[in-house]
Structure 1
Amino acid sequence: MLTRLLLLSITLTSFIVSAQDLAIVKYKGGGDWYSNPTALPNLIVYCNENINTQMNPKPQTVEVGSIDIFQFPLLHMTGHGNVFFSEEDAENLRNYLLSGGFLHIDDNYGMQPYIEKELKKVFPNKELLELPANHPIFSSAFPFSNGLPKIHEHDGKQPQAFGIFENDRLLLLFTYESDLGDGWEDPEVHNDPEDVREKALKMGANIVKYAFEN
Structure 2
Amino acid sequence: MKKLLYILLLAPALLMAQEIAVLKYSGGGDWYGNPTSLPNLAKFCNQNINTKLNPKTATVEVGSPDLFSYPFVHMTGHGNVVFSDNDVTNLRNYLTSGGFLHIDDNYGMDKYIRKEIQKVFPDKELVQIPSNHEIFKGPYAFPQGMPKIHEHDNKAPQAWGIFVEGRLVLLYTLESDLGDGWEDQEVHNDPREVREKALKMGANIVNYAFKN
Q: CA deviation at 1:10?
A: 8.3
Which has the higher mean CA deviation after the structures are superposed, 11-20 or 145-154? 11-20
Q: CA deviation at 1:12?
A: 7.0
Is 2:20–2:70's contact at 8 Å kept on the other side of the alignment?
A: yes
| Superimposed CA distance per residue, residues 58-103 of structure 1 (whole angstroms, 9 cap, x where no aligned partner) | 1000000000010011110000000000011000000000001000
**AA partner of residue 162 (structure 1):** W
What TM-score do you get using the length of structure 2 for normalisation? 0.94
* Number of aligned residue pairs: 206
SS for the counterpart of 2:26 is coil
| Superimposed CA distance per residue, residues 146-184 of structure 1 (whole angstroms, 9 cap, x where no aligned partner) | 000000011100000000011211110000000000000
Is 1:64–1:89's contact at 8 Å kept on the other side of the alignment?
A: yes
| Superimposed CA distance per residue, residues 24-74 of structure 1 (whole angstroms, 9 cap, x where no aligned partner) | 100000000000011111111100000001111110000000000100111
The answer on 1:171 being equivalent to 2:169 is yes
The answer on 1:70 being equivalent to 2:73 is no
- RMSD of aligned alpha carbons: 1.5
Aligned partner of 2:40 in structure 1 is 42
What TM-score do you get using the length of structure 1 for normalisation? 0.93
Is 1:11–1:67's contact at 8 Å kept on the other side of the alignment?
A: no
Is 1:39–1:182's contact at 8 Å kept on the other side of the alignment?
A: yes
Matched ranges for 1:9-88 at <5 A: 13-15=8-10, 18-19=13-14, 20-88=18-86
Query: 1 CA distance for matches of 2:94 and 2:190?
Result: 35
- In structure 1, which of residues 129, 132, 151 is the aligned counterpart of residue 130 of structure 2? 132
What are structure 1's unaligned runs of at least 5 residues?
A: 1-8
Which has the higher mean CA deviation after the structures are superposed, 16-25 or 145-154? 16-25
What are structure 2's unaligned runs of at least 5 residues?
A: none
Q: Percent identity?
A: 66
The answer on 1:213 being equivalent to 2:211 is yes
The answer on 1:149 being equivalent to 2:134 is no
Residues 186 and 92 of structure 1, relative CA distance in 2, 3 Å threshold: same
Query: 1 CA distance for matches of 2:7 and 2:140?
Result: 31
